[in-house]
Amino acid sequence: MDADGVRQQINLATPFVDASTVYGSTQEMNEILRVPYSYLLKTDNNLLPTPPGVNTCFDPVIPNRCPVAGDRRVSESPMLSVQHSVWLREHNRIATELHILNPHWNQETVFQEARKIIIAMLQQITYNDFLPTILGQTTMERFKLFSRDVNEGVFDDSYDPKVNPQILDSVNVAAHRYGHSQLTNNQNFVDEGCNTVTINYLKDTFESPRLVQQNNGANIPFLARHLACSASNKLDNFIADGMRNFLLRLPEAPGSDIVARTYREEGNKEYRDITHGGKYVASNLSNHSTNLESLGMHLRNYTRFKHYLFFSEPDDVDLFIGAMLEKDPGFNVGPTFQCLLGMQYQLIKSGDRFWYERPCEIFSFTEGKCDDFSQ
Ligand code: HEM
CB distance 176 to ligand 1 below 6 Å: yes
Distance, CA 68 to ligand 1 centroid (Å)? 18
- Which residues are 95's β-sheet partners? none
Residue nearest to atom 28 of ligand 1 (CA): 179
Distance, CA 242 to ligand 1 centroid (Å)? 13
Was 288 annotated as part of a binding site? no
With CA atoms as reference, report the closest residue to 175 among 134, 219, 133, 114.
134
With CA atoms as reference, report the closest residue to 121 among 17, 229, 226.
17
User: Are the beta carbons of 187 and 202 closer than 8 angstroms?
Assistant: yes
Q: Which range has the worst mean pLDDT, 219-228, 285-294, 339-348?
A: 285-294
- CA angle centred on 58, ends 218 and 172, rounded to 5°: 95
CB distance 177 to ligand 1 below 6 Å: yes
pLDDT confidence of residue 63:
81
pLDDT band at 345 (very low <50, low <70, confident <90, very high): very high
Residue nearest to atom 14 of ligand 1 (CA): 261
CB distance 71 to ligand 1 below 6 Å: no
d(CA 27, CA 16): 16
pLDDT at 121 over 80: yes
**Cα 163 from chain centre:** 22
**What does pLDDT average to over the chain?**
85
Q: Residues 361-373: what's their mean pLDDT?
A: 58
Distance, CA 176 to ligand 1 centroid (Å)? 9
Mutate to test the pocket of ligand 1, among 75, 76, 130, 204 (most ligand atoms within 8 A of CB): 76
Distance between first and last Cα of the chain: 45
Distance, CA 177 to ligand 1 centroid (Å)? 6
Q: Which range has the worst mean pLDDT, 133-147, 234-248, 250-264?
A: 250-264
Mutate to test the pocket of ligand 1, among 10, 230, 258, 341 (most ligand atoms within 8 A of CB): 258
CB distance 76 to ligand 1 below 6 Å: yes
pLDDT confidence of residue 56:
80
User: Are the beta carbons of 135 and 341 closer than 8 angstroms?
Assistant: yes
CB distance 200 to ligand 1 below 6 Å: no
pLDDT, tens digit, 9 for 90 and up, residues 185-233: 999 999 999 999 999 999 999 999 999 999 999 999 999 999 999 999 9
Residue 175, CA atoms < 13 Å, CB-side half-sphere: 25
CB distance 77 to ligand 1 below 6 Å: yes
pLDDT, tens digit, 9 for 90 and up, residues 2-56: 777 777 777 889 999 999 999 999 999 999 999 999 999 999 999 999 998 888 8
Percent of the chain residues topping a pLDDT of 70: 80
Distance, CA 89 to ligand 1 centroid (Å)? 24
Name the region of 58 (left: φ>0; alpha: ψ -120 to 50; beta: rest). alpha
Q: Residues 277-301: what's their mean pLDDT?
A: 56
Number of helical H runs and strand E runs in the chain: 17, 2
Distance, CA 307 to ligand 1 centroid (Å)? 27
Greater confidence (220 vs 273) lies with 220
Mutate to test the pocket of ligand 1, among 134, 177, 341 (most ligand atoms within 8 A of CB): 177
Distance, CA 241 to ligand 1 centroid (Å)? 15
Distance, CA 161 to ligand 1 centroid (Å)? 30
Residue nearest to atom 8 of ligand 1 (CA): 258
Residue nearest to atom 27 of ligand 1 (CA): 179
CB distance 203 to ligand 1 below 6 Å: no
Distance, CA 75 to ligand 1 centroid (Å)? 12
CB distance 179 to ligand 1 below 6 Å: yes
Cis? peptide before 67, omega within 30° of 0? no
